[in-house]
Amino acid sequence: MSKEMTIHLKYWKQNGPNDTGHFEEYTLNNVNEHMSFLEMLDVLNEELMLDDKEPVEFDYDCREGICGSCNLVINGQAHGPKQRVAACQLHMRNYNDGDHITIEPPRAASFPVIKDLVVDRSAFDRIIEAGGYVSVKTGSAAEANAIPVEKEKAEDAFDYATCIGCGACVAACPNASASLFTGAKIAHLNKLPQGEVERKDRVVAMVDQMKEEGFGDCSNYAECEAVCPVGISISAIAEMRRDYMRAMFSGD
């Protein structure tokens, strides 16, 4: 039979970007070990609402670790204690009866709070907008097998392409840098022959946009890699820097 627990929660409430915000506390009884972390918050909200209290807002959608909506910082760790999963895939069996859990939004100036645990990550969209694509029009593509791509290269590109854009890297970074996010998209596209043509323009545009958005620079803490739910390697950042330097000195 499944285990039931009592969990003491402390969660962030903030009624908009200009509110100062504060913590609230609540103790949940009967938390089933098979619940996901977000299901536990659903149950919290059900209890709060039945008690005529305001529920706590948090972002989520797919609840299977792929959409990147959820971005909770749990006891100081982005996505919580379990490695390589998003908060929606964290299950309560990772906790013990009587545990205290603090839940905060990611803290970064570039991710202003919308409400409670919900933040505005539109800066990520703007970084992609700056150059995170291959400029190919619908209908103008060549036959798919016209350009062979080495299997290893495709796999390598895939490892970077798998980024879910959740922002855990920013939340974990002492500099609130978006280097892992930005580097992952650059590495994905620059590693493929399809992305080669715009290689230089892409890296410059995206890195400049990242700075423009107010994200900090990378100081190699590697906290981002440690919390990344899909395990993007910080070699993405090295690749990004190399490409950026090359683009700066290439003279065209």
What part of residues 211-230 is at the interface with other proteins (CB under 8 A)?
Answer: none
Tokens 């539109």 belong to 122
**Which x/- pattern over 11-50 shows residues binding other proteins (rule: CB under 8 A)?**
----xx---------------x-xxx-xxx-xx-xx--xx
Q: Does residue number 57 form part of the binding site for other proteins (CB under 8 A)? A: yes
Q: Which of 157, 175, 177, 173 is nearest to 232 (CA)?
A: 157
Q: Which of 10, 21, 26, 66 binds other proteins (CB under 8 A)?
A: 66
For the beta carbon of residue 116, count every other beta carbon within 10 angstroms: 24
Q: Does residue number 200 form part of the binding site for other proteins (CB under 8 A)? A: no
Q: Which of 28, 128, 222, 247 binds other proteins (CB under 8 A)?
A: 128
Q: Does residue number 133 form part of the binding site for other proteins (CB under 8 A)? A: yes
Q: Which of 5, 12, 188, 218 binds other proteins (CB under 8 A)?
A: 188
Q: Which of 23, 122, 212, 248 binds other proteins (CB under 8 A)?
A: 122
* Residue (4 or 217) nearer to other proteins, CB: 4
Q: Which of 176, 195, 216, 239 binds other proteins (CB under 8 A)?
A: 195
Q: Does residue number 186 form part of the binding site for other proteins (CB under 8 A)? A: no
Residues 157 to 176: which contact other proteins by CB under 8 A?
Answer: 157-158, 161-162, 164-165
Q: Which of 11, 95, 124, 244 binds other proteins (CB under 8 A)?
A: 124
Q: Does residue number 150 form part of the binding site for other proteins (CB under 8 A)? A: yes
The residues with which 31 forms a beta bridge, in sequence order, are 5
CB of 176 to other proteins, least distance (A): 18
Q: Does residue number 233 form part of the binding site for other proteins (CB under 8 A)? A: no
Q: Which of 23, 81, 136, 245 binds other proteins (CB under 8 A)?
A: 136
- Applying CB under 8 A, the span of 131-139, 174-182, 211-219, 236-244 interacting with other proteins comes to 131-139
Single-letter amino acid code for the residue at 89: Q
Residue-by-residue DSSP string for the chain? ---EEEEEEEEEE-SSTTS--EEEEEEEEEEETTSBHHHHHHHHHHHHHHTT-PPPP---SSSSSSS-----EETTEET-SSTT--GGG-BGGGS-TT-EEEEE----TTS-EEETTEE--HHHHHHHHHH-S----TT-PPPGGGS---HHHHHHHHHHHT-----HHHHH-TT-B-HHHHHHHHHHHHTSHHHHTTHHHHHHHHHHHHHHTT-B---S--HHHHH-TT---THHHHHHHHHHHHHHHS--
